[in-house]
Amino acid sequence: MKTAIIYGVTGQDGSYLSELLLSKQYTVYGITRRSSLPNTTRINHLLTQKQFHLIQGDVTDFGSIYRLLNEVQPDEVYNLAAQSHVGTSFEQPSLTWNVTGQGCMNILEVIRQMGNRPRFYQASSSEMFGDQYNLDNNREKYQDEKTTFAPQSPYAISKLAAHHSVALYRRSYDLFACGGILFNHESERRGERFVTRKISRYVADLHWATQTGRSIPKLKLGNLAAKRDWGHAEDYVKAMWLMLQYDEPMDFVIATGKTYSVEECVKEAFQCININEYTDYIEIDPELKRPSEVPYLRGLSHKAKRRLDWEPKIDFKGLVKRMVQYDIQSCNRCNKGHGCTK
């Protein structure tokens, strides 16, 4: 039986990864930041399982990482901890760096000093590729493991530093360390500040408002033209696990290979409640536009298919449908069918 440590266990990816590892009979130590009001909503259903242990810790605290890894002696360590909202990274660049960049280096250094070194997974991001749209005037370009990085936000810069740290420690100290360059992956567990979940929750609220004859404020969005390669997080955590089961450590791009605009996401979500004319419900808010925007991202995960036998199972339409249906049902369950806007 294997043992794994997951930093960032309370997030979307951490919850799905925990479920996957537990299904494979792992003992899982999930690490969450010290907080007076810890948010365990996504993992509450796991807290009663004997093989799941929730522990307070912090990737910015080298001492706590050292003590935990040497006490648990895990087979695998997954670093999903980050300040993961791109917009927030412009407002809090130092915090973003300390958690997202330096945090990864702290874990790598502890592993380097261990006698029995665990395999290490670092959650890298497609945001590291940045503005490929204007980089070489190829406006239908895809990104893979050989694409040049051009980060456009404090978040992307921090992720890129962590990604390069993984390669450095792998090359210099022979660590089994992998970077998963994951493109946008969403789910019904996505945080409500992210645009896909913001859209699905609004559509769910609109659905119930329509049922009761109420009106609700418009949905405020930023750049509708931004295009992303969107997949489902449940598929993507499987790729994380597969990387650490492979014969040799390397980096992989994980993506669907298809790209859709924010406006296409809006359209698909509204169609889930049989509304085709959605423009009257949308308001463009300049305050929601980022200081530096990445207009287009599309990944190519042929390497993951060839070496890991990985490919996504849930397509874009299925993703949006699952998110909207979940939010509609959530509104119903919490007895706010008149408009659940929590």
Query: What is the number of structural domains in the chain?
Result: 2
CATH number at residue 222: 3.90.25.10
CATH number at residue 83: 3.40.50.720
Residue 341, in any domain of the structure: no
Residue 264, in any domain of the structure: yes
Task: Give the pLDDT mean for 50-69.
Answer: 96
- pLDDT above 50 (res 96): yes
Residues 81 and 135 grouped into a single domain? yes
Task: Give the pLDDT mean for 174-181.
Answer: 98
Residue 132, in any domain of the structure: yes
For 14, list phi and psi in degrees, rounded to 5. Answer: -60, -40
Residues paired with residue 221 on neighbouring β-strands, in sequence order: 284
Residue 306, in any domain of the structure: no
The radius of gyration of the chain from alpha carbons, rounded to an integer in Å, stands at 20
pLDDT of residue 342: 45
pLDDT of residue 32: 93
Q: How far is CA 213 from the centre of its chain?
A: 36
127 is catalytic: yes
Nearest residue to 255 (alpha-carbon basis) of 303, 321, 218: 303
Residues 17 and 141 grouped into a single domain? yes
For the chain, where are the E strands, in sequence order? Answer: 3-7, 27-32, 52-56, 76-79, 119-125, 177-182, 185-186, 219-221, 227-228, 231-232, 252-254, 260-261, 282-284
Q: Whole-number mean pLDDT of the chain?
A: 91
Place of tokens 């090359």: 171
Residue 308, in any domain of the structure: no
> Which residue type does 128 have?
M
CA distance 53 to 244: 21
Residues 116 and 208 grouped into a single domain? no
Residues 149 and 272 grouped into a single domain? no
Residue 303, in any domain of the structure: no
Residues 221 and 235 grouped into a single domain? no
Residues 201 and 165 grouped into a single domain? no
Residue 291, in any domain of the structure: yes
**Catalytic residue of the set 7, 26, 155, 278:** 155
Residue 338, in any domain of the structure: no
Residues 269 and 289 grouped into a single domain? yes
Residues 318 and 288 grouped into a single domain? yes
**Catalytic residue of the set 15, 64, 84, 125:** 125
Cβ–Cβ under 8 Å, residues 6 and 244: no
Can you give the residue range of the structural domain that contains 179? 3-186+230-254
Residues 181 and 199 grouped into a single domain? no
pLDDT in tens, 126-164: 999 987 766 555 555 899 999 999 888 889 999 999 999
- Sign of the torsion formed by the C-alpha atoms of 181, 99, 102 and 57: negative
**Catalytic residue of the set 19, 76, 127, 188:** 127
Residues 65 and 200 grouped into a single domain? no
pLDDT of residue 186: 97
pLDDT in tens, 301-335: 999 999 999 999 999 999 999 999 999 998 876 64
Q: How far is CA 258 from the centre of its chain?
A: 18
Residues 46 and 148 grouped into a single domain? yes
Q: How far is CA 326 from the centre of its chain?
A: 19
Residues 41 and 112 grouped into a single domain? yes
155 is catalytic: yes
Nearest residue to 153 (alpha-carbon basis) of 122, 138, 124, 131: 131
Alpha helix (H) ranges present in 128-248? 132-135, 154-173, 195-212, 233-245
More confident residue, 331 or 234: 234
Cβ–Cβ under 8 Å, residues 3 and 27: yes
